[in-house]
Amino acid sequence: MKNNTLDKKEIEKFTKIAEEWWNPTGKFKPLHKFNPIRIKYIKDNLINDFNLKNKKKPLENLNILDVGCGGGLLSEPLARLGAKVTGIDPIKRNIEIAKHHLKKSNLRVKYYNFSPEKFKSNIKYDVILNMEIVEHVENIDLFINQSAKFLKKSGIMFVATLNKTLKSYMFAIIGAEYILKWLPIGTHDWQKFVKPSELVSICKKNSLKLKMINGMSFNPILDKWNISTDKSVNYIAKFKKN
């Protein structure tokens, strides 16, 4: 088993399309459509979990680590909600794009070009995000282990990924990549998809207890994503550190 989380093919693949991060009609268009429901899910859960009261800046002063932050699509909106966000990503060009976009926004985000096993931090975070990233890493056990070490006791980790089912192969690869052309062909490798039971087991080994798991489904009529009970394709899980 490799002692790092980097998959060279994945690094090369995402380096090639890094310029597209902030283009809502480009290669990351599905992620732009996906983003509002992710932000709402994270925000609503954290308001409840941390008993937050500030209406204007509901995530004020929460320390969030966004692992595999890409171009900052999730980091920036969470900072706008008041959080102190640190984004890390192993792809240098992603971090350059994220920093460039940040200049326009005057938000509290720090970006670093590291994978979790190479990142160093003097602080522990209230929240860790592993969003749409575990299906792209080389060693998921190590990835969760190295991410979890930055989490405070009783801190929250969110993991969003793709289930390993026939339906996910048909929808996320055949449908999204080959038929609808939502994503570049080769974006996903079905062999790297993760069953919820597998994810829960890995997290449990790292003192992370499952608190909630939900499906995320696309409604083609409304052209939007919703939280649902159907976890057969996309799902999001919330864990608490023991």
Per the DSSP assignment, residues forming a β-bridge with 111 are 87
Q: Is 42 exposed, middle or buried (0-12, 13-18, 19+ CB in 10 A)?
A: buried
What is the mean predicted confidence (pLDDT) over 140-147? 98
pLDDT in tens, 27-54: 999 999 999 999 999 999 999 999 999 9
pLDDT in tens, 38-95: 999 999 999 999 999 999 999 998 999 999 999 999 999 999 999 999 999 999 999 9
Judge whether residue 1 has pLDDT over 60. Answer: no
Judge whether residue 151 has pLDDT over 80. Answer: yes
Contact 45, 127 (CB under 8 A): no
Q: Among candidates 192, 185, 105, 181, which has minimal Cα distance to 140? A: 192
What is the mean predicted confidence (pLDDT) over 106-115? 95
* DSSP helix/strand/coil, 109: strand
Residue 183: the pLDDT is 85
Q: How many CA atoms lie within 13 A of 26 on its CB side?
A: 9
Considering the entire predicted model, what is its pTM? 0.96
Strand pairing class (84-88; 63-67): parallel
pLDDT in tens, 163-194: 999 999 999 999 888 998 888 888 999 999 99
**What span, in angstroms and rounded, lies between the C-alpha atoms of 108 and 230?**
35
Q: Helix and strand tally (H, E) in the chain?
A: 7, 8
Question: Which two three-digit tokens encode residue 15?
Answer: 């380096």
Query: To the nearest whole number, what is the mean pLDDT of the chain?
Result: 95
* DSSP helix/strand/coil, 39: helix
What distances in angstroms separate CA 161 from CA 77, 79, 109, 168, 239, one per listed residue?
20, 22, 24, 11, 14
Residue 2: the pLDDT is 66
Which strands make up the sheet holding 208-219, listed edge to edge?
109-112, 84-88, 63-67, 125-131, 151-162, 234-241, 208-219, 224-228
Domains in the chain and their CATH numbers? Answer: 8-160+194-241 (3.40.50.150)
Per the DSSP assignment, residues forming a β-bridge with 9 are none
Per the DSSP assignment, residues forming a β-bridge with 191 are none
Contact 192, 138 (CB under 8 A): no
Residue spans of beta strands (DSSP E) within the chain: 63-67, 84-88, 109-112, 125-131, 151-162, 208-219, 224-228, 234-241
Question: Which two three-digit tokens encode residue 185?
Answer: 């062909």
Instruction: Write the CB contacts of 109 (distance below 8 Å, at least 6 apart in sequence).
Output: 72, 75, 76, 79, 85, 86, 87, 98, 102
**Per-residue b or e along 92-102, where b marks 16 or more CB atoms closer than 10 Å to that residue's CB:** ebbbebbbebb
